[in-house]
Amino acid sequence: MSPKVKRFLATWSPVVATGAFAAWESVRLHAYDVPFSLLLACGLALWSSLLVLCSRIAEAAKTTTHRCAAPDCGFTVRLRRTSPVENRRWQEMAAAHPEHRL
């Protein structure tokens, strides 16, 4: 499979899947004589919520997190698309940052 096809599938498969699920739930609500405007609002709200959830899961899978090792310190660094050298530099910075916050 070419990279172009993989990118297309990775981009549009969550959109189609969440849209299909939202449409299915709207069809199920239609059986209870829910007005069309409410069906549309519920379907769009469900679709957008699921799409945001999918994008956040995908982003979390690609993110590296470094935290301060000191107890009760909330210092955190989140990185995406960094080289191993840059990743190591931020890891050292998180371990030895100048200010420890609770």
Confidence band, pLDDT 50/70/90 cuts, at residue 102 = very low
Number of domains in the chain: 2
* 20 within a domain of the structure (yes/no): yes
Given a cut of 50, is residue 65 above it in pLDDT?
Answer: yes
What is the extent of the structural domain holding 83?
63-95
Predicted local distance difference test score (pLDDT) of residue 48:
94
Do both 13 and 43 map to the same domain? yes
- pTM for this structure? 0.66
> How many Å apart are CA 83 and CA 39, to the nearest integer?
47
* 18 within a domain of the structure (yes/no): yes
Instruction: List, in sequence order, every residue forming a beta bridge with 66; answer none if it has no partner.
Output: 77
> How many Å apart are CA 80 and CA 53, to the nearest integer?
18
Q: Give 98's DSSP letter.
A: S
Predicted local distance difference test score (pLDDT) of residue 9:
86
